[in-house]
Amino acid sequence: MKAILIREHGGLEKLEMAEVPDPVAHPGEAVVRVRAVALNHLDIWLRRGVPGHKFPLPMIPGSEVAGVIETVDDPRWRAGDEVIVAPGYSCGLCAACLSGNDPFCRQFGIFGETVSGGAAEKIAVPIRNLIRKPASLSFAEAAAVPLDMLTAWHMLVARAQLRPGETVLVQAGGSGVGSAAIQIAKLWGATVYATAGTTAKAARAKALGADETIVYTEVDFVDAVRGLTSKRGVDVVFEHVGGETFERSLRALAKGGRLVTCGSTAGGEVTINLRLIFFKLLSILGSTMGSLAELHEIMKFVEGGRLRPVVDRVLPLSEVAEGHRILEAREAFGKIVFEV
Ligand code: ZN
């Protein structure tokens, strides 16, 4: 089959369209014919490499897949069923897995990070990773659901324990995870402030449900938050930018506020003034993706139309390098998806 293969880390030229052997389904697995695969920052990290982290190269990227079952041996599924593939896998048998904390499983991994993913014509996945694709979503929209929705949900609902009536600052509301966070925070009854790099992105963030938007390239977002909250600050900051944004996000918090982070696209090394943490009784919460059970919970809202993935554009898989370029240049609002 054809697949995008990363043999070594580097620039866009390392995204090679290669001929590789078809995946083989092990017991308990299904083979899915990939119809769409969404792009994440994880794909960028995999391509570029991360200092101090070893990816098992050569590897096929692609963590978010929607497609059609080709072969399956399970009474609940048939060949031809349309599915979304849950991006995380685990043993399914240990205490962590059985208590719904599968990311804590010692065998937990993510397609396109720890094993090959779905930027290919086919992928073999455990049957419990299959989730029925809502008929209301295209394959491209369906591929844009699992990783970002799950990441944003786990951050806001499980980690930050968002409550109705609270205020949330969503950093980079035009990103895949940011556009998910705006919708989830609104669903949870919060007042949502979203930052965006351009007025056009801010307008789209508002259309998604943000109560107020802040164009961070034009105004200081900390000042803007103070203005919006009568100098109080927000209860929760949804952070995934890192770099200089991180400490300033802490400054945007109210007393007792929580900062929840899942990424550091602008840099992982940050400086924190500890006086800020203890005097204002702040919490910093780390988060990575979420559980399979949470994804099933999310799908109820996706099926009901209350959460909707935002697709910026759909490209053919042969243009994967262009997709990486657009994501790195922050030109997209929402998700970039490849059709296979
Ligand atoms: Zn386990």
Q: Which residues contact 291 (CB under 8 A, 6 or more apart)?
A: 88, 100, 101, 102, 103, 154
Torsion of CA 322, 327, 328, 330, to 10 degrees: 130
- Residue with tokens 């048998």, as numbered in its chain: 93
H helices of 108-175, in order, are 139-143, 146-153
| Ligand 1 mean position, distance from CA 93 (Å) | 5
Handedness of CA 266, 241, 220, 331 (dihedral sign): positive
DSSP notation for 257-293: EEEEE---TT-S-----HHHHHHTT-EEEE--S--HH
C-alpha 90 to ligand 1 mean position (Å): 5
Distance between CA atoms of 82 and 312, rounded to whole angstroms? 22
| Ligand 1 centroid distance, CA of 98 (Å) | 7
Q: Which parts of the chain register pLDDT below 50?
A: none
The token pair at 23 is 């995946």
> Which residues on adjacent β-strands are paired with residue 213?
194
Bridge partners (DSSP) listed for residue 286:
261
CA distances in angstroms from 18 to 34, 60, 303, listed in the order given: 16, 10, 36
Comparing CA positions, the residue from 307, 99, 78 lying closest to residue 208 is 307
102 CA to centre of ligand 1 in angstroms: 6
Helix (H, G, I), strand (E, B) or coil at 300: helix
Which tokens sit at 6? 């990363």
Q: How far is 76 from 71, CA to CA, in rounded Å?
A: 13
* Distance between Cα 57 and ligand 1 center (Å): 24
Report how far ligand 1's centroid is from the alpha carbon of 208 (Å).
36
* pLDDT number for residue 98: 95
